[in-house]
Structure 1
Amino acid sequence: MKTIAVINLKGGVAKTTTAANMATLLGTKYQKNVLLIDNDPQGNASQFFDCYRKDEKCGAAKILDRERPGIFTDVAAGVDLINANMTLLEADNELRTSEDRQDNRFAEYMEKAASIYDYCIIDNPPAILICTINALCAADEVIIPVRLDNWSIDGVEVITEQIETLKALNSNLKIAGILLTDYKKSIENEAAEEWLRKNCKYNVFSRRIRHSDKAVSATYYKQPLETYSPRSAAATDYRKFMEEYTGTKKA
């Protein structure tokens, strides 16, 4: 099983949109068994797939507490989901004060899930919490969505430094690449992209995810882009991105 952490320390860069659409494309186009873990106390991925349960201890919190998480099966073709809500933050805070090892709870769970799934995608919060560290310690690869503005570009250096530090705990962890999201053609964006591609020491994926109003509308209707608007710019770009990422072209 390949485990992919989707992360950026800045909000509003399409982390959840990227995680959700990667998962659904892997399930539908690539016929893979996928586990999507919502690791953000805000629970956006859980809400997107109608798995948000405000008054119940969420699955991600149970993983931190070494309990068996509930799994929402078939939230999309080939995709199961472990949900999140604010109880994840409570579990996170409690784990911080524990004298036990704190960074290996997700890795322990992944060992159990590895025989069931081909891919695990973890949607992370825009903060380095204990649950974030757990995700990165369990991941094989990291994808960093970036929206081209000054603050996001600055944030790339911060998050990549954090990831490099965590390699002391997870020597297999690598940064798969930077994914440009919500891209609008402008002089400023072209300049920012050129600078990033020249100066970033990590891979910047060739495929950009263009801005699309359909991407916003899809969140209201709680449908992946591939279902809601497969001909939209963003849907097309996510398909092309997955071809680039997997190295496999799909019709």
Structure 2
Amino acid sequence: MNAADSRPDQDGPENPANVSRETWTPEADLDTPIFAAASRATQVLHKNQRLPRPPHTRVFTVANQKGGVGKTTTAVNLAAALALHGLRTLVIDLDPQGNASTALGIDRRQAGTPSSYEVLLGEMPIREAIRQSPHNPNLFCVPATIDLAGAEIELVSMVARENRLKRAIDDLAGAEFDYVFIDCPPSLGLLTLNALVAAREVLIPIQCEYYALEGVSQLTNNINLVKAHLNPALDVSTVLLTMYDGRTKLADQVAMEVRRYFGDKVLKTMIPRSVKVSEAPGYSMTIIDYDPGSRGAMSYLDAGRELAERIGTEQGKGRA
């Protein structure tokens, strides 16, 4: 055996020069996106910050005639954000698709589930239809079932058909809800009309994409008609920009156009386009429960905080 064979392999682990310079250390994970998201999630879930309670229940109708603008997503995630900060929040699902109910963890497909259908038809007091979300003790829902699809036709022949939901919400006196969000279908039928008559404030989600204001002028005209003839207290108090993509000039242009149209009614917070936000309902969760450290969750928390801090401009003058 020659001398060369007796030396340690120069390419082997014994040679310090061949030891990886990327050896893991506990500090190595501190700058990763996963660690950053986990850190944010920890701050969200363990933060004891309390938002101010409104002096009276604020009842919002979340409406937009245009579909796919993040209407249901906005209703449930704002409700979850406020509930996380200790505010008692109720979501009334008036969309026959029932996506808001699903996102809040309510099994609406179970036979005999009390729903907004029975409430609208006067077959059940709204208190009996309220279900607590399994995700938060401050978050509640009046679910929608498939029966609601026929409510539009059944309501046509009823007396004071546009006031059915308002009378139901009036019966919540003493329930001590801080916020009520009514999720509407993307149309201006009797269900949406009931929501507009029952609320004091309208929240309009608008996506930062082409034709963002398409239909909004018609919606505001209809809101003004309801205000003139059925609900003098109704007003568009809040506009939220959704599906914002900061990489495009279009998103910024749309945001500027919406702010020029609605002025200071537009929240400063914008909700980014996010796969996580889209995934969450598939797991019967809001984004705040599904991925509390994500950009989408943080944005809805910021929007909820901003909404709560606008108490000085809130329109609701009577606790439900």
Q: TM-score, normalized by length of structure 2?
A: 0.72
Kindly indicate whether residue 299 of structure 2 is the aligned counterpart of residue 237 of structure 1.
yes
Deviations 1:97-145 (CA, angstroms, capped at 9, x unpaired): 33x1111111111111132122211111100121111111010111101
Provide the rounded CA distance (Å) in 2 between the counterparts of 1:178 and 1:66: 32
Counterpart contact for 1:7–1:142, Cα < 8 Å = yes
Provide the rounded CA distance (Å) in 1 between the counterparts of 2:264 and 2:155: 32
Deviations 1:137-192 (CA, angstroms, capped at 9, x unpaired): 01011110111233331222121111111102111111112110011121111112
Q: Equivalent residues in 2 for 1:193-232 (5 A)?
A: 193-200=255-262, 203-232=265-294
Aligned residues: 246
Q: Equivalent residues in 2 for 1:170-181 (5 A)?
A: 170-181=231-242
Aligned partner of residue 288 in structure 2, secondary structure = helix
Provide the rounded CA distance (Å) in 2 between the counterparts of 1:23 and 1:97: 33
Q: 1:194 to 1:111 in 2, by over 3 A?
A: same
Question: Which stretch of the first structure deviates more once superposed, 152-161 or 193-202?
Answer: 193-202
Q: 1:174 to 1:165 in 2, by over 3 A?
A: same
Letter in 1 for 2:90: L
Counterpart contact for 1:124–1:132, Cα < 8 Å = yes
Kindly indicate whether residue 194 of structure 2 is the aligned counterpart of residue 134 of structure 1.
yes
Deviations 1:168-225 (CA, angstroms, capped at 9, x unpaired): 2111111112110011121111112212222336722111001111111212222222
Aligned partner of residue 113 in structure 1, secondary structure = coil
Q: Unaligned 5+ residue runs, structure 2?
A: 1-56, 311-320
Specify which of 89, 94, 99 is matched with residue 34 of structure 1: 89
Provide the rounded CA distance (Å) in 1 between the counterparts of 2:70 and 2:251: 17
TM-superposed CA distance for 1:62, in Å, is 1.1
Residue aligning to 2:178: 118
Provide the rounded CA distance (Å) in 2 between the counterparts of 1:214 and 1:236: 12
Residue aligning to 1:52: 108
Provide the rounded CA distance (Å) in 2 between the counterparts of 1:234 and 1:156: 24
Deviations 1:79-104 (CA, angstroms, capped at 9, x unpaired): 12111123112122111133x11111
TM-superposed CA distance for 1:17, in Å, is 1.0
RMSD over equivalenced CA pairs, Å: 1.8
Identical columns (%): 31
Provide the rounded CA distance (Å) in 1 between the counterparts of 2:90 and 2:243: 25
Q: TM-score, normalized by length of structure 1?
A: 0.91
Q: Unaligned 5+ residue runs, structure 1?
A: none
Letter in 2 for 1:183: Y
Counterpart contact for 2:135–2:289, Cα < 8 Å = no
Letter in 2 for 1:178: V
Provide the rounded CA distance (Å) in 2 between the counterparts of 1:57 and 1:79: 18
Aligned partner of residue 19 in structure 1, secondary structure = helix
Residue aligning to 2:12: none
Aligned partner of residue 25 in structure 1, secondary structure = helix
Q: 1:234 to 1:61 in 2, by over 3 A?
A: same
TM-superposed CA distance for 1:18, in Å, is 0.8
Counterpart contact for 2:106–2:131, Cα < 8 Å = no
Q: 1:131 to 1:213 in 2, by over 3 A?
A: same
Counterpart contact for 1:26–1:34, Cα < 8 Å = yes
Specify which of 250, 256, 259 is matched with residue 188 of structure 1: 250
Provide the rounded CA distance (Å) in 1 between the counterparts of 2:232 and 2:107: 33
Provide the rounded CA distance (Å) in 2 between the counterparts of 1:122 and 1:131: 10
